[in-house]
Structure 1
Amino acid sequence: MPRRIRYFFDNPVALQVREEGRVEGRIEERARMTLRIPEWRGIPVCFALRERVLDCWDLDRLEIWARRAVTAERAEDLFSG
């Protein structure tokens, strides 16, 4: 690989941007999974709750909601407990 191209890929800013993209991708996928679980279980999720999940950028909180989705009886149960 030519030196200039290698410098671009190894540049600290480029490395940071790629890592931020990975984190953003993990957050988006966790939010989608959190919403899929109740849907698979036949539990409807209203627009407001769907937006609340999709607007969350906290991986830990999304993990909690996803775990609750496994046993929740209603979509609202994701946020209580």
Structure 2
Amino acid sequence: MDVVGSYFPGRGTLIELTFRDGQAHGEAAGLAEGVLRILAHRGITVRPETRHRIRECPYRSTLSHWLDRAFTVSQADELLDELFAVEEPDR
């Protein structure tokens, strides 16, 4: 028999939902910093507006996509090209 659910104390409560939301936010923040570090390591200048958009993006799928592309773009703004962005609510 498969058991579906979490083993979080107080599961199904506002506490668990808040915890999971915080966890998702932390994962997104880590991905955003990874994107910016790769660009910095490659010597690519990031405009303040672009840096803000990367840091404020809540979508882990988009940030993961940008992280992969950060290795190959020649300018930071190429990451934000709407043709390549995959913004899905996956929080």
- Aligning the two structures, in what range does the TM-score lie when normalised by the shorter sequence? 0.7 to 0.9
- Following TM superposition, by how much is the alpha carbon of 1:38 offset from its aligned partner in structure 2, in angstroms? 0.6
Q: What is the Cα-based RMSD across aligned positions, in Å? A: 1.4
- Following TM superposition, by how much is the alpha carbon of 1:14 offset from its aligned partner in structure 2, in angstroms? 1.4
Count of equivalent residues: 73
- Following TM superposition, by how much is the alpha carbon of 1:78 offset from its aligned partner in structure 2, in angstroms? 1.1
- Correspondences of 1:2-81 after superposition (within 5 Å): 9-10=9-10, 12-80=13-81, 81=84
| Unpaired runs of at least 5, structure 2 | 1-8, 85-91
Structure 2 counterpart of 1:4? none
Runs of 4+ in 1 over 3 A off after TM superposition: none
TM-score of the pair, normalised by structure 2:
0.71
**Identical pairs, percent:** 27
Greater CA deviation, 38-47 or 12-21?
Answer: 12-21
Structure 1 counterpart of 2:4? none
